Chains A and B, each alone.
Chain A
Amino acid sequence: MAGLYDYTAVTLFADEIVNNIGKENFYTNKNSKHLNAPSNYLLNDTETFILFIKRYFDILGTPKTIHIIPRKNVEVILGMYVNMPNDIYVCINDKMNDCWRRFTIIKELCSAYVGHYQDEAKEHKMFKTNSEYVGSVEDAFEGKVKYVNKEGLDEGDIDSETFSILLATELMIPRPYRNITENMIKKVADNVLTLNDVAKSLLIPESVLRLHVKNGYL
């Protein structure tokens, strides 16, 4: 695996989520936004994942109401996630296009999902977190995640924000149909397609896809 990260845990989490939701429920091959984009499987909608997270907290015995709150008067921040005893608030920058909106909602709810695991993991000394905040998506890709062991028997460090961003990206580039995207990336190298074509086929921000490719995850 190229790139800076031990990526095992990210892919394990992603596969677990997809298996729980079911790939046929989570992904679709109908691109309602870009009808002329190359054919690919993409995230069905954000609602499927939102309802999955809601069910997840129900099962934990800590039910949450999830609020998606668009804000029009912010410039720098894409999204904010706030966890309260009975509610999860996901505030998103309303100026974002559809791809960024999808990515931000998925990422913020990944924070909710991963956050629980970290609480649990910390009790078992699986890993500890150093930071609750991240500078940017680019920082996350360029930063460093040290170790995540599948069995969680050793101690290590993990940046939770980085983890959530990478997890969101893995969910938005469907792993069960990864070969389709990989073939498209080869066509980008051959100048048959552009990276923008591939991003449109996935409804993912092009720059996020570029970072993913650049770091060797595709």
Chain B
Amino acid sequence: MDVKIPSQESRDKLKELSTTFKPLDVKFLLALNTEFSVEECIDDAQVMVSGLKKYVDGNHSIENLDSSFGKIVVY
């Protein structure tokens, strides 16, 4: 099965999250096999993007992040 995250759909969902959060470029790397549906991929993408938005909106502070974040390393 050829699983791809539709570019436009993902971009539209990004826009829904915030009008101020406009990445120049977003790419996802999915798991090795292709057993997952597009919906599952989109759901996971949403989790990743919304978590990132929280981090960005908090000015990169880790104080208000929940336990779903591992140790963030900044270079």
Contacts and interface: CB of A to CB of B under 8 A. Distances in A.
A60 to B, nearest CB: 14
A132 interface: yes
Interface in B33-49: 33-34, 36, 40-41, 43-45, 47-49
B74 A115 contact: no
Size class of the contact patch on chain A: 35 or more
Contacts, number: 151
A207 B44 contact: no
A85 B40 contact: no
Given A80-B28, A132-B25, A138 B34 contact: yes
A69 B72 contact: yes
A12 to B, nearest CB: 22
Contacts of B2: 135, 139
Contacts of B60: 67
Pick the 3 closest A-B CB pairs, nearest first: A70-B70, A135-B3, A83-B25
Interface of A: 47, 50-51, 54, 65-85, 87, 89, 91, 94, 104, 107-108, 111, 115, 131-139, 160-161, 164-165, 205, 207-208
